[in-house]
Structure 1
């Protein structure tokens, strides 16, 4: 059972390839009521969530379960004064409570702000100052409550603090409160144009930006789930991402539930490729999506048979053709690459019905009018490198594109300069219509499936007394895709040495989330710069 056809009309060519998709939705569309609660009425016993963790615990939830539990969580939030438009930060790792909380916040019209548990107290403080929140719900694990409480105290604001499963001083226990709450909820007024979710990007030329999406955002992920990941009605889809990252929205809830696929969740801390394959086989996963880092590990360790797996997809960074070939040789499954941004949904992909080409970003999603443009705004000819841009429809904005950068209308206007949305990514198109990634116009680093803005790391580096000037770049790494390298001009009083290198790395990494750790330090006498004084990161990378 699925509900996506209520809002979606698709057109296919003679080869069965999607050529056009039209989304129609009511003015008050809300994923929680119109998808989750609708599925709970139409197919109450259909599986929605299959969960397990590295300790051997497991649980399964039907759509009726999700509907009921989310209503309980919504009642708790309402009793605490959380209302439509309020912001709630959520850092729940892969705990199954994330799905109850997310749907609950949608029901009351609050703005969900997902946050990875790996953020430092300084990271959390920055986000609180950018987007004051009315509440925070976090995991009891990994000292996250202490970092959250410390950041809230530093910010000086008052907000409600919840954790789950355990009693933590200073935090209310959401799990216990839900057990005592009513499990039904009358529909509350919301609009499709209301803000629904906000992700913080990884900073590139500055600090992370708040990217806001409205309640139409889930509908755009029909293409993500059905035509790229090829999740199936009644199937079980497994996306590896932790819930603090945008890819969780791509692969762990919206599009999958719209087309009737359950989502598989494995709650783990330490990545083990053998265990990952074990989960796929134990629970009968039918479609799988992970960053190239995961496939590199799988290929390196050897890939056991996965008889239930029918489709495999990847995104987040470039996939080396050798990994594509070896994975396909071992499994018989091609890796379907896809591309998009925090500000968008799926833009380009090796879609169902198209022959997947190793190394290619694929073809444009029919949901968007994609074009390559030259710097002067003219279309880029086939075979030449241009910037990937999105042309808007004649009326309104494309469904699935962000509505604002929080508190920065000038930056939003810059992204939409010339009447098109600028991705900042360079690519070229071949004669068959496939797109090929060339590089980024910004300097974001993609390491181990995570996105890291150099500016965040450089800020910490500059706090070290021996660092006169610095720049951070990504360098090729066989396992991570890219590793973070710091290029440092030391102060005259300190001579470059292995001891100083270790000192700087220890200083930085003790202040950074693990995925942002500096792996290499290189000392130079001076930075290569442009005439205007900007550091040439391209030269540092080469």
Structure 2
């Protein structure tokens, strides 16, 4: 049943009013998937500036806390929507005085600090194009971003200015905290608090330029507009189930798309509070204490964090959030079950990419099918396309129909016509991910197109095998890749990170291989195993491509060191 309508005074301008109407429809059908699918239409304004036409109007309805940041030492900052409107106006006016103008590209490399959100809003108001960058980047990465991104301005903290010492270019240098030779961000406090744009922002104007994490190749440049992420993330708001007044915690590093998803657009589309807990080293118990104290109602975390959380005492959180989701990579069933037992809520998976907002998800109040990441969200038409025939099928590459083109889809890859033609061929946007769909429209993730492999002529999904391995108490993380085999061509091999208290021994290897043997069909079972840390991108995604390459290299030796095999254990012989 739809809840009572939630609305307020019309947002500024026709684009803002259209956005508000679409937003309210999704709020009012938050648990009514069928109605939302049938009635939702993407707003398609000709002119739209989310910071001016939406964010700046929120305080007129109710001036809630927009941003709440808690530090590990217990200090905290709370800013209302009106506070951020005023401060972003000052920053925009000050940046304009430094020469930042419409269409200029600006690298924004800050941690989870107030200045990050002030600058995002200010750049948006100016019509500048933001190039988000994680503070983990080094000089080589930054040189690539300045060069290929054609950056004219850089905003970073004093702790990271030295990284730009050998990064050439005539870009404006702006430092939060001050640095020799850099403009001081604190000077923005003297700027005027009222802001006037220099003209209209067109919907198709670029807003964001993301360098993807590059799991298989050099980072691509993903371009989003003033509608594709701000308006597109209405789908993300709907997936999470966010409502006005929620306190939403999303664990994500600045610089990556997921940070914009759930630390900017989705919560503020819903008029919810963005909550951050900053820590130098992850401490599950400390995080849970702050979630309890600050009454977090909505929580999103990547699989890596969920794996660490379930090794702590989740029951220590007396009032868990009632909205709990996972993103980044699909969640394994064992994690979902442990959280359900401890908190009485079910983690709901969602699927999207840097190139899109959330496309497929389990939404609030809907039936959940074990292992499925849900159904197509309002505004998206999803099809599974068989790579061989190019026809829609029950299993195939997850694609989006682009007639009509969904608002939450990127403009394209900047300066890469060949790649754009490849991903938009045949009337679809091709995600590069494989899934299967049932008769009710629920989609189950299989894996990346380049991760799925054949063993003894059977098609193997690494994700399926990894999910089984994670059910064993010794396994904290796992990645499955094909290992060269003279008879079967390839066999499944697991690279395993052990849970606390387990040793990388013969006994542990036997226990895990036996468990896999008991829980997987013979053609799927793990034949080889190695204990090691997993290579990951800066954003935390497992680089299976690196493991696949390693497998080819190490098996030039028929018995590589550190590898356990089924045949090593007589106990496993049939």
The alignment's TM-score, normalised by the length of structure 2, stands at 0.75
For the 8 Å contact 1:297–1:479, the answer to whether it is kept is no
- CA separation in 2, counterparts of 1:81 and 1:378? 51
What runs of 5+ residues in structure 1 fail to find an aligned partner? 455-472, 481-504, 529-542
For the 8 Å contact 2:42–2:406, the answer to whether it is kept is no
Q: What residue in structure 1 maps to residue 234 of structure 2?
A: 222
What runs of 5+ residues in structure 2 fail to find an aligned partner? 1-6, 12-18, 453-461, 467-478, 482-492, 501-532, 559-574
Q: What residue in structure 2 maps to residue 170 of structure 1?
A: 181
- CA separation in 2, counterparts of 1:13 and 1:186? 36
Q: What residue in structure 1 maps to residue 169 of structure 2?
A: 157
- CA separation in 1, counterparts of 2:230 and 2:556? 48
| Aligned residue runs from structure 1 range 130-529, under 5 A | 130-141=148-159, 144-150=160-166, 152=167, 156-164=168-176, 166-174=177-185, 176-189=186-199, 190-216=201-227, 217-225=229-237, 227-303=238-314, 304-307=316-319, 309-375=321-387, 376-381=389-394, 385-394=395-404, 397-442=405-450, 475-477=495-497, 524=554, 526=556
Report the secondary structure of 1:279's partner residue: helix
- CA separation in 1, counterparts of 2:190 and 2:49? 26
TM-superposition CA deviations, 1:405-430 (whole Å, max 9, x none)? 11111111111011210001001012
- CA separation in 2, counterparts of 1:19 and 1:122? 45
Report the secondary structure of 1:107's partner residue: helix
- CA separation in 2, counterparts of 1:479 and 1:185? 53
- The answer to whether structure 1 residue 5 and structure 2 residue 16 are counterparts is no
| Structure 1 position 370, deviation (Å) | 0.2
- CA separation in 2, counterparts of 1:513 and 1:121? 14
Report the secondary structure of 2:37's partner residue: strand
Q: What residue in structure 2 maps to residue 501 of structure 1?
A: none
Q: Aligned-residue CA RMSD in angstroms?
A: 3.1
Report the secondary structure of 2:233's partner residue: helix
TM-superposition CA deviations, 1:127-157 (whole Å, max 9, x none)? 222112111111233xx2111332x2xxx31
For the 8 Å contact 2:299–2:325, the answer to whether it is kept is yes
| Structure 1 position 319, deviation (Å) | 1.3
Report the secondary structure of 2:174's partner residue: strand
Q: What residue in structure 2 maps to residue 88 of structure 1?
A: 106
Report the secondary structure of 2:92's partner residue: helix
Q: What residue in structure 2 maps to residue 99 of structure 1?
A: 117
Question: Would the alpha carbon gap of residues 514 and 398 (structure 1) be closer, same or farther in structure 2, given more than 3 Å must change?
Answer: closer
For the 8 Å contact 1:280–1:306, the answer to whether it is kept is no
For the 8 Å contact 2:224–2:411, the answer to whether it is kept is yes
TM-superposition CA deviations, 1:94-144 (whole Å, max 9, x none)? 111111000000000000111111112111112222112111111233xx2
Q: What residue in structure 1 maps to residue 569 of structure 2?
A: none
